[in-house]
C-alpha cells in the first residue's frame, strides 16, 4: 500500500509518518529531508532550500525516484511525508505511480488550526550535532538544553512566529487545494491533529486497517 500524509507545519505529520512506517514496514519518504541532504553538495539546491523556494516538480520526483531505487525498494509500501505540496505534484506523482502499476491507496490529512501550529513550532528544537528534532510540547527531550547524543538544542530561524505565519500562508495557498483532487479520488481521510500522539496514531491505524489492508 502507498500512503500520503499531509498537514500544516506543526501538525505532527513527521512523527506520525515514522510511527506508520514502523508499524506497517513502509519506506518513509520525506522530500524535505532528501532535498536537505542534496543541498549539502549541490549549491543550487542549497540556495532554493534556504530561501524556501520549491524545487521544480519533475526534478523533485526524480530525486524521490533515485532515493527509492538506491534502496532497491520498489514502488509499493511507501509513505510520502509532506509530499506532494501542490496540485501539479500530486498529479505528477499519481501518474508516475500508475505507470509503475501502483497507486495512492490512502491520504491522511492532519488538521490543526494556525494558532496551534504556531504554538507547536515555536517550541521546536533541533540538535545542532545530529539533527534530531524535538518539541518542548509534544516531544520534549529529557534535558531541555541537550539532545540525547549530547548536542546542543537550538531553535531554527524558520521556527520564529513571524516566519511560521508566512509558511502557513504558503501551505494554505499551495497545498490545501490538493484536497479537492484527493477527495474526488476517494482516498482522503481527515484526522484531528490536536490530540495526543498516541490517540492520533491509533485512529490512523484503524483507518488504514479498515480501508487498505
Question: Could you tell me which of 186, 187, 182, 3 has the C-alpha nearest to residue 77?
Answer: 3
Whole-number pLDDT of residue 199: 96
User: For the whole model, what pTM was predicted?
Assistant: 0.85
Q: Maximum CA pair distance of the chain? A: 48
Cross-strand bridge partners of residue 27: 78
How does strand 106-111 pair with strand 2-6?
A: parallel
* Domains contained in the chain, CATH given: 2-114+175-211 (3.40.50.300)
Q: Are 126 and 153 in contact (CB under 8 A)?
A: yes
Q: Which residues of the chain have pLDDT under 70?
A: 52, 213
Q: What is the pLDDT of residue 22?
A: 97
pLDDT of residue 213: 61
Identify the pLDDT of residue 8: 93
pLDDT of residue 19: 97
What is d(CA 95, CA 158) in angstroms, rounded to the nearest whole number?
A: 33
Sequence-separated (6 or more) residues with CB below 8 Å from residue 83: 4, 29, 30, 31, 60, 64, 89, 93
State residue 93's pLDDT score. 96
For 154, the 3-state DSSP assignment is strand
Amino acid at each position: 500500500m502507498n500512503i500520503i500524509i499531509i498537514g500544516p507545519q506543526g501538525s505532527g505529520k513527521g512523527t506520525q509518518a515514522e510511527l506508520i512506517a514502523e508499524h506497517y514496514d513502509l519506506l518513509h519518504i520525506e522530500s524535505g529531508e532528501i532535498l536537505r541532504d542534496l543541498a549539502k553538495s549541490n549549491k543550487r539546491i542549497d540556495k532554493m532550500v534556504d530561501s524556501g523556494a520549491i524545487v521544480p516538480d519533475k526534478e523533485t520526483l526524480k530525486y524521490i525516484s533515485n532515493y527509492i531505487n538506491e534502496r532497491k525498494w520498489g514502488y509499493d509500501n511507501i509513505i510520502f511525508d509532506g509530499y506532494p505540496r501542490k496540485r501539479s505534484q500530486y498529479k505528477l506523482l499519481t501518474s508516475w505511480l500508475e505507470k509503475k502499476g501502483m497507486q495512492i491507496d490512502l491520504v491522511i490529512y492532519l488538521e490543526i488550526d494556525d494558532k496551534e501550529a504556531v504554538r507547536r513550532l515555536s517550541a521546536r528544537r533541533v540538535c545542532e550535532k545530529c539533527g534530531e528534532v524535538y518539541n518542548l510540547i509534544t516531544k520534549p527531550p529529557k534535558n531541555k538544553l541537550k539532545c540525547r547524543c549530547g548536542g546542543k538544542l537550538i531553535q531554527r530561524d524558520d521556527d520564529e512566529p513571524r516566519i511560521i505565519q508566512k509558511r502557513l500562508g504558503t501551505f494554505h495557498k499551495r497545498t490545501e487545494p490538493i484536497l479537492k483532487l484527493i477527495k474526488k479520488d476517494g482516498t482522503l481521510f481527515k484526522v484531528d491533529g490536536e490530540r495526543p500522539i498516541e490517540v492520533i496514531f491509533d485512529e490512523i491505524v484503524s483507518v488504514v486497517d479498515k480501508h487498505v489492508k
